[in-house]
């Protein structure tokens, strides 16, 4: 397999692989991938979550994704085993395109650590 070297190539490969594994034909978007990461980080099997729980799952994912960048730090698990993070550094004001690049990079890095793209 050819080595994937840039962010766009890694992102496209990741989206294709996650879509094949988790979506029913429709390509996963960034929000869908963030949601999957939240479910992974929560570690609880459930086929359905309430709307507020879905928002919380996405928040967990964003905190986990931005933790290596120094924006968040894991704090504790609550009584329901949901992880909580504290803000270490305020997020900078980024333009929408810059936000997208940061999140794509963070997502690719998350899956790189798991060696997901190599499997």
pLDDT digits (tens, 9 = 90+) for 49-68: 899 999 999 999 999 999 99
Q: Which helix (H) or strand (E) holds 12?
A: helix 7-22
- Whether residue 16 is contained in a domain is answered as yes
- Residue 2, domain member (yes or no): no
Q: For position 117, what pLDDT does the model report? A: 86
Q: Is residue 92 part of a domain?
A: yes
- The dihedral built from the CA positions of residue 68, 8, 113 and 20, taken in this order, carries a sign that is positive
Instruction: For the chain, give the percent of residues with pLDDT over 70.
Output: 94
**Predicted confidence band at 2 (pLDDT cuts at 50, 70, 90)?**
low
More confident residue, 19 or 118: 19
Q: What is the pLDDT of residue 24?
A: 82
Q: What is the pTM of this model?
A: 0.90
Q: Residue 38 domain-assigned?
A: yes
Name the CA radius of gyration of the chain, rounded: 15
In a domain, 62, yes or no: yes
Residue 50 domain flag: yes
Query: What is the phi-psi region of residue 23: left when phi exceeds 0, alpha when psi lies from -120 to 50, beta otherwise?
Result: beta
- Range of the structural domain that residue 71 is part of: 7-113
Residue 113: how many CB atoms within 10 A of its CB?
A: 9
Any domain includes 61 = yes
Domains of the chain: total: 1
Please, which residues bridge with residue 85 across strands?
Answer: 74
Contact criterion met (CB below 8 Å) for 22 and 47:
no
Average pLDDT value for residue range 6-25: 92
- Residue 44: per-residue pLDDT: 82
Overall average pLDDT of the 6-31 stretch: 93
pLDDT score at 118: 84
Residue 118 covered by a domain = no
- What pLDDT sits at residue 1? 45
């Amino acid at each position: 397999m050819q080595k994937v070297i840039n962010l766009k190539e890694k992102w496209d490969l990741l989206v294709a692989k996650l879509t094949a594994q988790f979506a029913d034909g429709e390509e996963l978007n960034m929000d869908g991938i963030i949601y999957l990461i939240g479910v992974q980080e929560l570690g609880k099997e459930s086929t359905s979550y309430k709307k507020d729980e879905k928002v919380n799952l996405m928040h967990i994912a964003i905190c986990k994704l931005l933790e290596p960048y120094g924006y968040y730090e894991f704090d504790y698990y609550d009584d329901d085993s949901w992880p909580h993070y504290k803000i270490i550094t305020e997020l900078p004001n980024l333009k929408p395109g810059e936000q997208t690049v940061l999140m794509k990079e963070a997502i690719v890095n998350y899956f790189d650590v798991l060696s997901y793209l190599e499997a």
